[in-house]
A and B are shown apart, each in its own frame.
Chain A
């Protein structure tokens, strides 16, 4: 069956996902219990995990889930916000479609043609979205948003030092959305302790990479104990017990082997021919002697601990015990590679002939002892680190495995997030220097005040009914978009050769609207209050041809590159969204291209969806309209925005989220038809197609 891929269906899907996800988002979010087919249960508030656990069937849902998980892989945060934001974007787009339908009802076009037309229109929007993401967003980030950025580094003098309190704020806010309500403080403290204990110098990026890569090896889960028993311990914990344990003090060395120390009769590909019983006996004796002498040699080199990735035979164990060497065998290759990374020790290669060689690398061990956690035995290893990572392990306790896994994933995600945060991020954008720019700025303020007034009016009219208040934003601001698009579209389709001209018309039109011509200004503002479409039409009738000529001379492009420095944060609770919303609207006002205006306004209004959900359970002075108004006021009067919530969030994480969502949206929009193939998926792609298209 083929289904027409449309915004409507995508929105339906996204709305279902949003309903699930919005109950888990933010500090007031709740837990979700997932069962696996094996019968295990998993607790989660991690959006990505939830979406995967749903095993969604719908193709659009699968696109969304795939986008979310690839986003998570990169950043480790923001899956729930992703869905909410996407949903709001789709809602904005649907508003456009509905407008279009009204206009199309009169024309009696067949469904399919309309579908294709839709498709063209979506493609057009997609391109606009992509241009916005690649060319405009970075500019707005750099030119406007960056002045609001805070840093988690306290930049005293020349060097920047990481401030513990701001890291705590950042982590607490992160875990607020990830772990159970009573545990986020504890877990963020745990993470903070781990972080400060395990980083030696200031080169933290290396540590993040190591921790991110080897996270599984760096934590131990203990079920049956209360969460508050979780702790950080010095050294590494290997998930194995000693095969031999010989207590030892003082100067100790460690050797890593990847093969059995006992020589075998034959290696692979060779043949060992036994001709007599005596030969067999002597070779066995030789094997024994050889093993014995290797172990003696190791001991003489002061090796007191042997770490092996394979199982060592009884003979080796026996001689190790006799020589006082502790043995841990059957270690996973990940554990071995982690140890190698920490102490930069290459594996001990068994000498072929003589045993005179020294062991290449004298890696020292501080201690090695058994560690018993809930009657399970582990090896506790204190290593002298040669890299910037001071080995520490996290012991995670919890009543059930599912909860521990949640904490484990949250911690892992936090490291991913920090890894991103501690990198500089480059921004590249096209800067359009417009000679009218400067004159624009006071004008924009006017507009804003106006908007605010309007908002206040709405507020007073609707008498604090929350539900109705919320509808205000999507209704009023983007109202001008739908009509515009429709018109453009239609004309564009009808008159292909004049395409460019008409587009330019629209650009001009907007320009003329926002020009600071003192004569037109008054009328414009008035009409702005009542109906935007009126303005458009008025503009169209007016000074079109004249402006057309002057267009090229006015705009010149220049490519800029800048960067978001490492450690940029913003206060939690929708600050990023509200700021970007504000600046996008501003941008839209001075922008000339219709597509840009449309896209900016669409994104700006969708951005508000996130703070709206965050502030939903708040009462009194902390509900969304209040917060929004205060923020707008602060922005207009150039005052710092006061956030009512303590906590910080990474700017770069938010930026990545925005770009990922936009990419996902374009992916959804470019699909016009979903074809369901009722055949087993095939690995080889031989193209003798028997696919039947059913409509």
Chain B
């Protein structure tokens, strides 16, 4: 045994990492990359490895951050926390990352003592979360599960905010309906507590048009064409009996134990195991099983035997489909070659062989199990990946919304509204936020300004074409105006509706440019009912965001910014 003993190199210790010019510039670069991706008009990023491999085009934080390689520990913390947020909630990754960068930048500009800044940031965050959770919140809409309108708006907002999916308006509508349908499939019929949602499997297909995508009940198993030809379709009217094997049926002798097994001359273990397999096959035949699915490999002789008895045998299903298959059929995965207990069998209503694009599938249709398959078609690989990720996000967001049935106004309106609220409160009732923390009002004003402008510039990064960003003085919503228009015109004519689509410009509003510091005003709290009624027409969909994801994103962003601002030293281990 050679052992390599080497003295550890001493670590590098940097003081006040945020004051270093290098860190500032890299943070600014990262922020630039992320802001340019943000929103439905975000610019796409092409990621490719200099050595080779596939090129991917994206604007989603999940893909972008996974592929970016950063070296500075401060950036690592930022990116790790955003990635962790994304893996929890799927949505609002860019929101979190940009807000965090903005906050760090703005707080640093104030030159206040970090202790005070951090304390006040936390206070402002508490104010925001309390406000967003309160009844009087002016940017929150309850979700009505008796109609699909809001849910559809939510899914559509998720899809449109991912421009790299390259969907036309019509395609967005089609895919959002499919996603919603797939989600509704997973809700079980019975209402026993606790409700366990079913499973929707997403299969991505290259070739057909996006509008060919569908949702199918049950499970699709991809099999080679030849195998499909061999499995003779035998139709029965009644339900079909299914056996699901999790153990290998290949006849290998797996676990001999820790000692040794001595096999005498002319004793063939293969034959012995094969006999056992055929016995198993006989039992399956006598139990009138119609379909045998095996996670691992099945011995060809057993396969042949089953086929001659008109039993369909499919092997190498893999470990991932086992759980949905078990759910769809009600079968228990069998782990023994011995006699099979009758309670392990499951059943399906029907099965088909189906062809989508150039792939062949075996389609199991369950009786009423909450399992469905979403088939996403797309023309090329990169876009297919992007679309699949967007659909997973949308499904996840729907699940989160079931748990917390509220949505927040999207399109930048929540951010500007929150900023207006904070400004108003710090101006009128600073005591509510300070709560005797030993900070002065002036300090609060400074930090509140930094916090609000972080939120507002986040909303402002939705605009990528040089347009002007405005906010109205009544609701505090976000309005954007096309660039290059004459300045002296009537504003209501230029602006059609606010970012989220709740208000239109014809409502006697007054606007101010967001970048200018305006006089604090009290934004109207509750959203008038009529405003929502009119806007739930499908033609003018609202832009809404998932409350759970956004709220958590806000918290994570502020906590991470606080963490980074609080750093006194960075110790880099150089080993």
Q: Does A227 contact B (CB under 8 A)?
A: yes
Within 8 A of A (CB), among B16-74: 17, 73-74
Q: Are B267 and A274 in contact (CB-based, < 8 A)?
A: yes
In angstroms, Cα B476 to Cα A248, docked, is 53
Residues of B within 8 A of A31 (CB): 563, 566-568
Instruction: Flag if A32 contacts B568 (CB, 8 Å).
Output: yes
Q: Check B562 against A226 for contact (C-beta < 8 Å).
A: no
Please give, as numbers and ranges, the residues of chain A lying within 8 Å of B17 by CB-CB distance.
33
**Interface residue? B77 (CB, 8 A):** yes
Give the Cβ gap from B267 to chain A, nearest Cβ, in Å: 6
Residues 400 to 430 of chain A near chain B (Cβ within 8 Å)? 400-403
Whether B76 and A54, one on each chain, are in contact in the complex, defined by CB atoms closer than 8 angstroms, is no
B555 touches A228 (CB 8 A): yes
Docked Cα-Cα span, A277 to B274, in Å, equals 11
Q: Are B87 and A270 in contact (CB under 8 A)?
A: no
Within 8 A of B (CB), among A29-51: 29-37, 39, 41, 43, 50
Nearest Cβ in chain B — how far from A610, in angstroms?
18
Contact A57 B10 (CB under 8 A): yes
Are B256's CB and A375's CB within 8 A?
Answer: no
Contact of A348 with B by CB under 8 A: no
By a CB distance below 8 angstroms, the chain B residues around A23 are 568-569
Q: Which of B199-258 contact A (CB under 8 A)?
A: 246-247, 255-258
> Are the CB atoms of B76 and A180 closer together than 8 Å?
no
Name the residue of chain A whose CB is nearest to the CB of B123.
A182
Cβ of A35 and Cβ of B259 under 8 Å apart? Answer: no
Q: Bits for A380-403, please: 1 = Cβ < 8 Å to B, else 0.
A: 000000000000000000111111
Is the Cβ of B11 less than 8 Å from the Cβ of A55? Answer: yes
Closest chain A residue to B556, Cβ basis: A399
Q: Which of A41, A276, A292 contacts B267 (CB 8 A)?
A: A276
A266 to B259, CA, bound (A): 5
> Bound complex: CA of A324 vs CA of B255, how far in Å?
25
Contact residues of A between 194 and 231, Cβ < 8 Å to B: 223-228
Instruction: Tell me if B85 counts as interface (CB < 8 A to partner A).
Output: yes
Q: Which of A35, A43, A281 contacts B573 (CB 8 A)?
A: A35
A511 to chain B, nearest CB (A): 49
For residue B567, which residues in chain A have a CB less than 8 angstroms away from its CB? 30-33
The reply to whether the CB of A273 lies closer than 8 angstroms to some CB of chain B is yes
CB of B260 within 8 A of CB of A266, answer yes
**A41 is contacted by which of B76, B269, B556 (Cβ under 8 Å)?**
B76
Kindly specify which of A109-117, A309-317, A596-604 makes contact with the partner chain. Answer: A309-317
A673 part of interface (Cβ distance < 8 Å): no
| CB atoms of B267 and A264 under 8 A apart | no
Q: A32-B569, A226-B556, A319-B336 are in contact. Are A273 and B264 (CB under 8 A)?
A: yes
- A277, B272: Cβ atoms closer than 8 Å: yes
Q: Which residues of B contact A2 (CB under 8 A)?
A: none
A181–B121 Cα distance when bound, in Å, is 11
- The CA-CA distance from A374 to B90 in the complex, in Å, is 11
Known: A314-B247, A317-B335. A280 touches B267 (CB 8 A): yes
A279 to chain B minimum Cβ distance, whole angstroms, is 8
Q: Which of B10, B247, B256, B336 contacts A54 (CB 8 A)?
A: B10
Which segment, of B136-144, B161-169, B337-345, B419-427, faces chain A?
A: B337-345
A20 at the A/B interface (Cβ < 8 Å)? yes
Query: Given A54-B13, A181-B118, are A266 and B256 also a contact pair (CB < 8 Å)?
Result: yes
Indicate the member of B255, B269, B335, B562 with the most A CB atoms within 10 Å: B335
Contacts A181-B118, A182-B119 given; indicate if A34 touches B573 (C-beta within 8 A).
yes
User: In the bound complex, what is the Cα–Cα distance between A243 and B88 (angstroms)?
Assistant: 24
Q: Does A518 contact B (CB under 8 A)?
A: no
Chain B CB within 8 A of A299 CB: no
- Given A223, A265, A403, which contacts B259 in the complex, CB threshold below 8 Å? A265
Minimum C-beta distance from A292 to chain B (A): 8
Is there an interface contact between A274 and B80, defined as CB atoms closer than 8 Å? no
Contact (Cβ within 8 A) B556 A314 = no
Q: How far is B264's CA from A265's CA once the two chains are assembled, in angstroms?
A: 15
Q: Does A271 contact B (CB under 8 A)?
A: yes
- CB–CB B77/A402 < 8 A: yes
Is B522 an interface position by the 8 A CB rule?
no
B130 within 8 A of A: no
Please, how many angstroms separate the alpha-carbon atoms of A28 and B568 in the complex? 11
Whether B517 sits at the interface, judged by CB under 8 Å, is: no
CB <8 Å contact, B260 and A400 = no
| A227 and B559 contacting across the interface, CB-CB below 8 Å | yes
A673 to B494, CA, bound (A): 83
Q: Quick one: given A225-B88, A314-B336, A315-B335, are A30 and B259 in contact (CB under 8 Å)?
A: no
B195 within 8 A of A: no
Check if A224 sits within 8 Å of B556, measured CB to CB.
Answer: yes
CB-contacts of A301-332 with B (<8 A) = 313-319, 321-322
A637 CB contacts on chain B under 8 angstroms: none
- Whether a CB of chain B sits under 8 angstroms from the CB of A559 is no
| CB <8 Å contact, B77 and A20 | no
In the complex, whether B157 has a CB less than 8 A from a CB of chain A is no
* List of B residues within 8 angstroms of A54 by Cβ: 10-11, 13, 571
B330 CB, nearest partner CB in chain A, Å: 13
Contacts A226-B556, A277-B267, A277-B271 hold; do A401 and B80 have CB atoms under 8 A apart? yes
* Cα of A53 to Cα of B12 in the assembled complex, Å: 10
Is A269 part of the contact surface with B, judged by Cβ < 8 Å? yes
Residue of B nearest to A37 (CB): B575
- Interface residue from A228, A271, A275 paired with B260 (Cβ < 8 Å): A271
**CB closest chain-A residue, reference B118:** A181
In the complex, the answer to whether A223 meets B268 with C-beta atoms within 8 Å is no
Report the minimal beta-carbon distance from B301 to chain A, rounded to whole angstroms.
Answer: 16
Is B489 in contact with chain A by the CB < 8 A criterion? no
Cβ–Cβ < 8 Å partners of A181 in chain B: 115, 118-119, 562, 566
- Per-residue CB contact flags for chain A residues 666-685 toward chain B (1 = under 8 Å, else 0) read 00000000000000110000
Whether A462 is near chain B, meaning CB under 8 Å from some CB there, is no
Tell yes or no: B114 within 8 A of A by CB.
Answer: yes
Contacts of B573 in A (CB 8 A): 34-37, 53, 55
Asked whether B317 is an interface residue with its Cβ less than 8 Å from the other chain, the reply is no
Contacts A54-B11, A274-B262 known; A285 to B338 CB distance under 8 Å? Answer: yes
Q: A270 contacts B336, CB within 8 Å?
A: no
A402 neighbours in B (Cβ, 8 Å): 77, 80
Q: Which residues of B contact A680 (CB under 8 A)?
A: 5
**Smallest beta-carbon distance A147→chain B, Å:** 33
How far, in Å, is B91 (CB) from chain A's closest CB?
12
B187 within 8 A of A: no
Q: Taking CB as reference atom, which chain B residue is nearest A399? A: B81
Cβ contacts under 8 Å, A223 to chain B: 84, 87-88
Bound-complex Cα distance A55 to B571 (A): 10
In the assembled complex, how far is the CB of residue B440 from the closest CB belonging to chain A, in whole angstroms? 12
Inter-chain contact B262/A35, CB cutoff 8 Å: no
Q: Report the bound CA distance from A315 to B245 in whole Å.
A: 11
**CB-nearest residue of chain A to B274:** A277
Assess whether B8 is interfacial by the CB under 8 Å rule.
yes
Closest to B72 in A: A35
- Assembly CA distance A92 to B84 (angstroms): 49
B360 sits at the interface (CB 8 A): no
A106 contacts partner chain B, Cβ-Cβ < 8 Å = no
Any A CB within 8 A of the CB of B287: no
Establish whether residues B73 and A41, one from each chain, have CB atoms under 8 Å apart when the complex forms. yes
Q: A274-B262, A318-B336, A399-B560 are in contact. Are A33 and B256 (CB under 8 A)?
A: no
The 6 A-B pairs with the shortest beta carbon distances in the complex, nearest first, are: A264-B257, A266-B259, A314-B335, A224-B84, A318-B335, A268-B258
Additional pairs, 19, CB under 8 Å, beyond known A31-B566, A33-B571, A399-B563? A24-B568, A32-B569, A35-B73, A35-B572, A43-B563, A54-B10, A55-B9, A181-B566, A182-B119, A223-B87, A224-B84, A224-B86, A267-B258, A270-B260, A271-B261, A281-B275, A318-B332, A318-B344, A322-B341
CB within 8 Å of A: which residues of B?
Answer: 5, 7-11, 13, 17, 73-74, 76-77, 80-81, 83-89, 114-115, 118-119, 122, 246-247, 255-264, 267-269, 271-272, 275-276, 332-338, 341, 343-344, 552, 555-556, 559-560, 562-563, 566-575
Ordered by A's residue number, 10 sampled pairs between the chains whose C-beta atoms are within 8 Å are: A35-B572, A39-B76, A53-B573, A55-B11, A57-B10, A224-B87, A264-B257, A280-B267, A317-B335, A400-B563
